[in-house]
Amino acid sequence: MIIVRTVAEMQGLSRRWRREGKRVGFVPTMGFLHDGHLSLVRLARDESDVSAVSIFVNPTQFGPSEDLAQYPRDFLRDEALCRGEGVDCVFYPAPEEMYASDFSTWVEEGVLSKPLCGQARPTHFRGVTTVVTKLFNAVLPDVAVFGRKDAQQALVIERMVRDLNVPVRIIVGDIIRESDGLAMSSRNKYLSVDERQRALSIRAGLLAASRLYDGGEKTAEVLRLAVLGSIEEQGGKVDYVELVSRAQLAALPQVSEPAVIAVAAFFGKTRLIDNCYLG
């Protein structure tokens, strides 16, 4: 496995692979890898001949009062996990390699990035779409894999790729959970034992809503309240619980088309997100 730290070297390696007729699979991450990330690596490997994983805690997707400095990092562990998965290349650039001090060009999606996480984190998706574009231009992948844990992010990336004719096929992998149902996340490390226990109410609420839906309940407000109630009962501070269409992320009064219930909630200082597809 090769570790590459510069954009020029990454492009050179990828061009060589491409000349050899190899399809390049790519998984962008912020590191501190868990089984959710590794499931995406396996998907990327299934769909390609060579695989690259990027590990880059992207400063531009964090707001000024967010956890950039504290974000967990453990490169040696990540490296060993990638090696164990048979990854061919880890792209591990320094922030200065990715952003010139006078960096001034942004990629911004204008509709899907606005509701849900875009409300509470107004510059977040602009940072994501910009860094993903930069990572695509460094890694030059044929296929890139994202997780449905960040359902809005995956939709925003798909829209960006369509709108800008980016020649990369996007695959979206399922949410991987801990055995007790908590969606895996690098940020789970921040949770105290008590917070972690109470955070299970997110998944419990989504399952309750899903059961109501399976029993014939289609009204968004009833389904929303099932999730909200579960989280608030356990002392979680809800940022949003929204039932939106999967195509446009537009609020739906009824589940009349493929929908997703998306949640963001704080347990202590930790903001967790999760979601569940309906219909």
CB of 44 to ligand AMP, least distance (A): 11
Strands 169-173 and 2-4: unpaired
Q: Identify which of 9, 8, 60, 52 has the alpha carbon closest to the alpha carbon of residue 29.
A: 52
Q: What count of other Cβ atoms lies within 10 Å of the Cβ of residue 92?
A: 20
CA distances from 176 to 85, 180, 191 (A): 16, 11, 18
Which CB, 90 or 184, lies closer to ligand AMP? 184
Gap between the Cα atoms of 43 and 27, Å rounded: 9
Strand partners, 3: 90
Q: How big is the chain, counted in residues? A: 279
By CB under 6 A, is residue 25 in contact with ligand AMP?
A: no
Contact call for residue 152 and ligand AMP (CB under 6 A) = no
**Site for ligand AMP, residues 154 to 183, rule: CB under 6 A:** 173, 175-176, 183
37 is catalytic: yes
Q: Which helix (H) or strand (E) holds 44?
A: helix 35-46
Catalytic residue among 37, 45, 124, 159: 37
Indicate the residue among 212 and 277 with the shorter CB distance to ligand AMP.
277
Contact between 88 and ligand AMP by CB under 6 A: the answer reads: no
Find the residue with minimal CB distance to ligand AMP.
147
* Contact call for residue 185 and ligand AMP (CB under 6 A): yes
236 near ligand AMP (CB under 6 A): no
Number of residues that bind ligand AMP (CB under 6 A): 17
149 binds ligand AMP (CB under 6 A): yes
Residue 253 three-state SS: coil
Q: Does 113 bind ligand AMP (CB under 6 A)?
A: no
Contact status: 262 vs ligand AMP (CB under 6 A)? no
**Rounded Cα gap, residues 47 and 23, in angstroms:** 8
By annotation, the residues acting in catalysis are: 37
